[in-house]
A and B are shown apart, each in its own frame.
Chain A
Amino acid sequence: MVTDAFQKRKERQLLWLLLPALLPILILTIYPAVYAIYLSMTNEALTGVAAAKPRFLGVANYLRLFSDGRFWNSLFVTVVFVVGSAIIGQFVLGFISAVALRRKVVGAPVFGAAILLPNAAPEVVAGFMWISMLAGGEYSTLSRIMMALGLPWVDWLNTFPLFMVVMVNTWRGIGTAMILLTAGLAAVPAEVYEAARMDGANPRQTFMRITLPLMAPTIFLYMLISTVSTISVFGLVYALTRGGPGNKTEVISVYIYNQSFTAFQIGYGAAGAVVALVVTLALGIGYVRSLKVQV
C-alpha cells in the first residue's frame, strides 16, 4: 500500500506543514541567538557614535564583563534567587502541600485553588501586590501583621531585599510544584506502601525510605525545569525592585536589560546575554538528556 514514492510525497507535504512554524523560530529565535554572539564582539549601541558605526572589538566585551563586579554580583544574586526560590522555597512548600493534601482533608479543592492562585497572577500584578505587603516601612501589611503579633517591624525591601524577592518568587511557584509532586506521589504504587505498613514502618521511615527514593526522578526533573525557568524571571523582580536597592536584587535578566536598554550598550549587554544563553543551554541539554525523549 505505502510505496516509496508515496512516502516521499507525504514527507514533502509534511515539511510544508512545518514550514510556518520553522520560519519564525529560525528568524526570531535561532538567528538572534547566533547574532548575539556577533553583537557581543562589537561596541554596538542604541544611541551615539557607536550606533551609526559599530566597531569590531573581539573579546573586549567579555574581558570587561568578567572584570565587572556588577556582573559577578548579578550571577551571585541569580544563584541565590534560583536556589532560594525554585530549589528550596517552591519545592519544600509545594512538597509539604502535596503531602498534606493526600490526607483526606475537608475542602482539599479550596486549599488547592488557593495555593495555585499565585501561579495565575501576571508578573506585574504579583510585583504590585507584594509592594503592598512589603513596602512602606511600618505601614506595610507585613509590618502591621508583625506589630499585631507584638514583633518588631522592618523596612522589608530595603533591609532584606534579596530574601524578599526569593520569598515572592517562592509564593508564585508553590502551586506548580504542588501539582507536579502530587502527580509524582500518585504514581507511587499503593502496594509499596501496603508492604511497608505490613513490615511495621512508621510514617517517617516510609517517607524517607520509600516516598523520597521513588520520587527522585520526578523531583530531579522538576528542579531542572524550575531552575531554567527561574533564571529567565524578569518582570517580577523588575516590577518589585528594579534590581535595587543598589544592585542587591539585580538578577542576570535585569542586569542584561539594564545594560542594553537603560545604558543602551547593546554590544556589552549581548556579552552578558551570551553567558546567560550558554548557562541555560548547558542546563537544557541536561534536561533533554534526563527526559530520555523518544521521538
Chain B
Amino acid sequence: MAAIADKRSGAYTFLAYVTLVIISIFCLLPFVWMALASVDTNAKLFLKWPDGITFEHYTKVFAEENGVRWFANSLFTVLSATVLVMIISGLGGYALSRSRAWWKQPFLYAILLIRVLPSTALLVPLYKVLLTANIGLGNMLRPITGEYYRTVMQWFGFIDGYLGLIVVLATGQLPLALWIMKIFFDGVPKDYEEAAILDGATLVQRIHRVLIPLALPGLAAAGLFTFMSAWGDFLLPLILLSSPELQTLPIGLFRAFLRVNEIDYGLLAALATIYLIPAVIAFSFARRFLVQTFSGGVKG
C-alpha cells in the first residue's frame, strides 16, 4: 500500500519537474536571446550562439547613442518621483491610519478605485489639463526668464519638462503607496507616539524622531513599488516628452527599434539589458512585499 503511494508520489514529483522545466524555459528564453545578442559580434534577430564575444554594444550605447542621457533622465525622473511618493505617502498613510474622521473611509475606498482606472483613459483629459497649465506657466515665465526660457521650461514645464513627468509619475503611484503606508502604520503601536506626546513632543518632533525610524520598512516597500512601476512606465514619457534632450530609456529603446533600415540588434539588446537591470534589482527586493500589496488589504 505504502509502496504504491510512494510510486505514485514519485510520478507526481517527476511531473512537477517536467512542468517546472518547461514553464521556466518559456519564461527565460527571451532573456537568453537578449543576453547573448548583447555580447554577440554578429547579433541577429533570432536566438543563436554568439559568433564572438564583445562588449562593444554596451560601449556603443554610451559612446555613440545618447545612452548616458537616457539613463540619467530615467534615473532622475523616476528617483525624484519615488522620493516624492515616499514623503507624501508617509505623511498621508500616517494620517489615514490614525484618523477617526468621517472622510477616512470614503477616501480609502476612493484610492482603491483610483488604482483600477486605466492610465490610457485618464491620459487624454490629463494631457489637456497639463497643456493648459503649461501655457499659463509659459506666459508667466516668458517675460522673466528671457533667453533661458527654454531651459527653465525643460525643467519646470508640465508638458515636455521634467517636473510634469515627475509629478504625474508620482501621482500615479500614490494610491498604492498610501495604501501600503496606511496598512503599515496600522501595525505600529500608538504607545510610542503617546509616550512622545506625554514628553511634550510636537507633531513635527514626533514625525522626525519616532515615526520616520519606525516607518522605514513600510517606506522601503512603498518606494520599491513606486520605482518599479515608474521605471517600467512607457506611456507617460511617450506622451509628455518630445525634446530629444529629455528622452528616457523606454522611449530611446522604442525609437531605436523603429529605425527599420538600420536595426542593430546587438546595440538594441545591450540597451534593453541596461534598462532591464535596475528593474530586476528592484523587483528582487520587492518580491517579499508582493502578496500583501497585491491583495490590497484583504485583512483591512
User: Which A residues are closer than 8 A to B by beta carbons?
Assistant: 7, 10-11, 13-15, 17-18, 20-22, 24-25, 27-33, 35-36, 39, 44, 93, 96-97, 99-101, 103-105, 110-111, 114-126, 128-133, 135-136, 139-141, 144, 171, 174-176, 179-180, 183, 203, 221, 225, 228-229, 231-232, 234-235, 238-239, 252-254, 256-257, 260-261, 266, 269-270, 272-274, 276-277, 280-281, 283-285, 287-288, 291-295
Q: How many angstroms from the CA of A232 to the CA of B113 in the assembled complex?
A: 14
B residues less than 8 Å from A30 (CB atoms):
110, 114
B295 touches A144 (CB 8 A): no
Dominant SS at the B interface? helix
Q: How many angstroms from the CA of A7 to the CA of B197 in the assembled complex?
A: 13
User: Interface residues of B, CB < 8 Å — how many?
Assistant: 99
Scoring A10, A123, A288, A292 by chain B CB atoms within 10 A of each residue's CB, the highest score goes to A288
Since A124-B234, A285-B113, A295-B105 are in contact, a sample of 13 more A-B pairs with Cβ atoms closer than 8 Å, ordered by chain A residue number, is A17-B92, A20-B87, A30-B110, A33-B117, A97-B20, A103-B16, A121-B279, A141-B46, A171-B30, A174-B23, A179-B294, A239-B254, A277-B122
A139 touches B129 (CB 8 A): no
A residues less than 8 Å from B117 (CB atoms):
29, 33, 232, 277, 280-281, 284
5 shortest A-B CB distances, which residue pairs? A232-B118, A21-B92, A235-B234, A129-B30, A120-B283
B residues less than 8 Å from A253 (CB atoms):
118, 120-121
Nearest chain-A residue to B85 (Cβ)? Answer: A21
Q: How many angstroms from the CA of A273 to the CA of B125 in the assembled complex?
A: 9
B119 touches A124 (CB 8 A): no
Nearest chain-A residue to B92 (Cβ)? Answer: A21
Q: Say if the beta carbon of B287 comes within 8 Å of chain A.
A: yes
B118 touches A123 (CB 8 A): no
B16 touches A100 (CB 8 A): yes
Contacts A123-B232, A288-B113 given; indicate if A139 touches B46 (C-beta within 8 A).
yes
B30 touches A103 (CB 8 A): no
Question: Can you give 9 A-B contacts (C-beta < 8 A)?
Answer: A22-B92, A105-B20, A125-B275, A129-B30, A130-B30, A277-B121, A285-B113, A293-B109, A295-B108
Dominant SS at the A interface? helix
Nearest chain-B residue to A275 (Cβ)? Answer: B121
A256 touches B13 (CB 8 A): no
Q: How many angstroms from the CA of A261 to the CA of B284 in the assembled complex?
A: 35
Minimum C-beta distance from B213 to chain A (A): 17
A116 touches B287 (CB 8 A): yes
B283 touches A257 (CB 8 A): no
A28 touches B118 (CB 8 A): no
Choose from A44, A119, A133 the contact partner of B128 (Cβ within 8 Å).
Answer: A44
B129 touches A32 (CB 8 A): yes
A residues less than 8 Å from B122 (CB atoms):
29, 32-33, 36, 273, 277
Q: How many angstroms from the CA of A54 to the CA of B268 in the assembled complex?
A: 42
Choose from A120, A171, A294 the contact partner of B276 (Cβ within 8 Å).
Answer: A120
B253 touches A14 (CB 8 A): no
Q: Say if the beta carbon of B24 comes within 8 Å of chain A.
A: yes
Q: Say if the beta carbon of B91 comes within 8 Å of chain A.
A: yes
B276 touches A132 (CB 8 A): no
B94 touches A17 (CB 8 A): yes
Q: How many angstroms from the CA of A239 to the CA of B111 in the assembled complex?
A: 29
Contacts A33-B122, A281-B117 given; indicate if A117 touches B112 (C-beta within 8 A).
no
Scoring B101, B125, B275 by chain A CB atoms within 10 A of each residue's CB, the highest score goes to B125
Contacts A17-B92, A125-B253, A129-B33 given; indicate if A28 touches B171 (C-beta within 8 A).
yes
B280 touches A125 (CB 8 A): no
A123 touches B234 (CB 8 A): yes
Q: How many angstroms from the CA of A33 to the CA of B20 in the assembled complex?
A: 43
A122 touches B92 (CB 8 A): no
Nearest chain-A residue to B87 (Cβ)? Answer: A20
Minimum C-beta distance from A293 to chain B (A): 5
Q: Say if the beta carbon of B3 comes within 8 Å of chain A.
A: no
Q: Say if the beta carbon of B209 comes within 8 Å of chain A.
A: no
Q: How many angstroms from the CA of A33 to the CA of B91 in the assembled complex?
A: 25
Contacts A25-B174, A288-B112 given; indicate if A103 touches B120 (C-beta within 8 A).
no
A293 touches B114 (CB 8 A): no
Contacts A25-B171, A96-B19, A256-B124 given; indicate if A132 touches B129 (C-beta within 8 A).
no
B residues less than 8 Å from A252 (CB atoms):
118, 120
